[in-house]
Homo-oligomer: A and B are copies of this chain.
């Protein structure tokens, strides 16, 4: 069984996050060390596939990948970029971390800023947070009228269908963290002066809204999933598992894409001859 099948939430079915153990390690090699070793092996295969995807992109292949990382504070979105994406060739990665929208961004529809940072053909795009914030914090914090927020699930589905039809392989990962582990991670940020910059007192206010966030996630995971854009629930209490699982999901998707080096669009023998004739 592939990891995609193991972690994929069935599109359209209600999701009960309390039913998923955030410390689970479905499909993983036996323990942390084995998973790290497997990740090293995967890194080489990922790099090879990434180069082929890029090469194909230079010859008109429109396909690209978009990894969407969502999860509560401290669930490890940044850590995933560092450890998983850090194993790829940075030239072919287009990373965007979404913050609170700027005034200019707020003046447009919520997908406007997303469309501007999509991966180009051949690239692997990475969203650290995404358009889903507009049905998560926007819902919990009531940043827009309820009817407008309610309409966004449908708009997201239209948008993602459009992306898929345009050659984008969506890999949407929900990093599933437990309430207890979040507390440990926030306390660690407070305990270490070199982590204080990652902390803001408002993180505690957000944490107080945990049940509302879980509900907003459950709704998004149920409503915004489709065969071409499923959600993967990645248990995230164990960092080594989270890194292994996202690497594995990327690898499975890239393998299925099976990008190929393009054929030479020129006469190789003739070019060699011309080159050899030069002094």
**Which residue numbers of A lie inside 8 Å of B, CB to CB?**
55, 58-59, 78, 81-82, 85-86, 88-91, 93, 95, 97, 126, 128, 183, 186-187, 190, 193-194, 196-201, 204, 207-208, 261-264, 266, 268, 270-272, 274-276, 278
Q: Would A86 and B82 be within 8 Å (CB), given that A190-B268, A196-B264 are in contact?
A: no
Contact B90 A278 (CB under 8 A): no
Least CB distance from A162 to B in Å reads: 24
Q: Measured between alpha carbons, how far is A158 from B106 in the docked complex, in Å?
A: 35
Partner of A272, one of B95, B97, B187, B266: B187
Other CB < 8 Å A-B pairs besides A91-B97, A193-B264, 18 of them? A55-B194, A55-B197, A59-B197, A81-B89, A81-B90, A86-B89, A86-B90, A90-B93, A183-B278, A187-B275, A187-B276, A190-B271, A196-B261, A196-B268, A197-B261, A199-B264, A199-B271, A207-B278
Contact A271 B197 (CB under 8 A): no
Please give, as numbers and ranges, the residues of chain B lying within 8 Å of A55 by CB-CB distance.
194, 197-198
Q: Measured between alpha carbons, how far is A264 from B198 in the docked complex, in Å?
A: 9
Please give, as numbers and ranges, the residues of chain B lying within 8 Å of A91 by CB-CB distance.
78, 81-82, 95, 97, 128
Contact B81 A204 (CB under 8 A): no
Contact A275 B204 (CB under 8 A): yes
Q: In the complex, which of the residues A88, A90, A93 has the most CB atoms of chain B within 10 Å of its own CB atom?
A: A90
Q: Measured between alpha carbons, how far is A268 from B194 in the docked complex, in Å?
A: 13
Q: Measured between alpha carbons, how far is A268 from B198 in the docked complex, in Å?
A: 12
Minimal Cβ-Cβ distance residue in B for A56 = B197
Partner of A186, one of B88, B263, B275: B275
Least CB distance from A84 to B in Å reads: 10
Q: Would A194 and B86 be within 8 Å (CB), given that A201-B271, A204-B275, A274-B204 are in contact?
A: no
Q: Measured between alpha carbons, how far is A197 from B265 in the docked complex, in Å?
A: 8
Q: Measured between alpha carbons, how far is A262 from B90 in the docked complex, in Å?
A: 28
Contact B90 A85 (CB under 8 A): yes
Please give, as numbers and ranges, the residues of chain B lying within 8 Å of A58 by CB-CB distance.
197
Please give, as numbers and ranges, the residues of chain B lying within 8 Å of A89 by CB-CB distance.
81-82, 86
Please give, as numbers and ranges, the residues of chain B lying within 8 Å of A193 by CB-CB distance.
261, 264
Please give, as numbers and ranges, the residues of chain B lying within 8 Å of A201 by CB-CB distance.
266, 270-271, 274
Contact A275 B86 (CB under 8 A): no
Contact A263 B196 (CB under 8 A): yes
Please give, as numbers and ranges, the residues of chain B lying within 8 Å of A187 by CB-CB distance.
272, 275-276
Contact B128 A275 (CB under 8 A): no
Q: Measured between alpha carbons, how far is A55 from B200 in the docked complex, in Å?
A: 13
Contact A271 B204 (CB under 8 A): yes
Q: Measured between alpha carbons, how far is A200 from B58 in the docked complex, in Å?
A: 12
